[in-house]
Amino acid sequence: MLGRRQIREKIVQTVYSYYQNPIKFDVLEKNMFTGIEKIYYLYIYELNFLVALKELAENQIEIGKNKFIKTDSDINPNQKFINNQVLIKLEENPERLFFTGQHKQLKWDLHDDLLVKTFQRITAGKRYQDFMKQDGYSFEDDQKFIGKLFLRYIAENDDFHDYLGDKELSWYDDIHIANSMVQKTIGFLKEDEESRTLIKMIKDDEDKTFAIKLLRTTLDSWENNEKKLEERLENWDLERVSLMDKVILSTALTELDNFPLTPSRVIINEYIEIAKVFATDRSNIFINGILDKYCKDLNRI
C-alpha cells in the first residue's frame, strides 16, 4: 500500500499547486487521487522494465542459437540471469500481467534505446559478471542481486528519471515513491510462495478519508495556520518564508490539531522527511524547530 508518508506528500504537492493555481476543491481532490493513481502506473512500468531486461536477455540467447557460426557461449549460454527466481516471479505475477494487458503503453519495446543501453551497462558491470559466474541458484542471492541491480541501474539512473519525466511530468516528482514500492516488492517476495498481489495505492477507505480530511482542513485552516506560524517566528518575517515551507508547516499544523491519535513526534518526523524531498537543504531544520515549539506550547504529546 501507499504509506501515510506518501499520502502526506501528495497532499503537500496538491496544496502547493492550489496556491499557485487555485481551483475548485472537487477538482483539486480529483487531481490528487489521479496523481496517486499515476504512481501505480509508474510502479508497474518499473516492474515491467525489470521483466523486459529478462526478455531482452532471452532474446539475445535465441539470436546466438540461430547464428550460422556459433561460439561455445552461443551453444551453451549462461542462463543464470534469465533463471533468476525473482525475475520469474515478477514476470508471472498475475496482477502485473492483467494491469499491463489493460494498459499496453506500460509494456516496454525490446528495441527501446534506454532499455538496450541499460542492459548493456548491466551486462558489462562487475556485479553482473560476478553473479553469472556463481554456481547454483539461491533465492536469497537472486533477491539481493535484483535489489542491487534495481537500485544501481534504475532508481539511481538519471537518464531513466529524465525518460520518465518526459513521458509523464508528475512521474519525475513521484519516482522516489515508485522506487520504494518496487524495492519493497522485491524484498517481500518469498521463495515458497507465489507472487500474486502487488502493493496497493490506497489501502482502504480509512486512508482515503484521511487524505480528503487532511487536504480539505489544511486549505480551510490556511489563514489560521499562518497566524500560528507568525507567532513562532523569531527574527523572521512571514513574507520571507517560502511557499513550500508554509505548505509543509500548514499541513503539519493541521494534522497536529485534527488527528490527536497520531503522536506528535511521528507527525513532526514525517514532515521533516517531506521537507528533505520538496524543500531547501535547511528547511527541515526550520520546520522541525517550528513544529517542536508548537507542540511544546500546546503540550501536545
| 134-163 pLDDT, tens digit each | 988 899 999 999 999 999 999 999 999 999
Name the 3-class secondary structure at 9.
Answer: helix
The structural domains of the chain, with segments of one domain joined by +, span 23-188, 205-298
The C-alpha cell at 90 is 515478477
Q: Tell me what pLDDT residue 2 has.
A: 59
52 contact partners, CB below 8 Å, separation of at least 6: 107, 108, 110, 112, 115
pTM: 0.87
Domain 205-298 has CATH 3.90.25.10: no
Q: Tell me what pLDDT residue 138 has.
A: 92
Q: Tell me what pLDDT residue 204 has.
A: 78
Per-residue pLDDT tens digits for 179-224:
999 999 999 999 988 887 888 877 778 899 999 999 999 999 999 9
Q: Tell me what pLDDT residue 197 has.
A: 80
Q: Tell me what pLDDT residue 45 has.
A: 97
SS (HEC) of 235-296? CCCHHHCCHHHHHHHHHHHHHHHHCCCCCHHHHHHHHHHHHHHHCCCCHHHHHHHHHHHHHH
Contact 161, 172 (CB under 8 A): yes
For residues 252 and 265, give the distance between their C-alpha atoms in angstroms, rounded to a whole number: 11
The Cβ-side half-sphere exposure at 4, using a 13 Å CA radius, reads 14
- Residues with pLDDT less than 50, the chain: 1
Q: Tell me what pLDDT residue 169 has.
A: 87
Q: Tell me what pLDDT residue 237 has.
A: 83
Q: Tell me what pLDDT residue 4 has.
A: 85
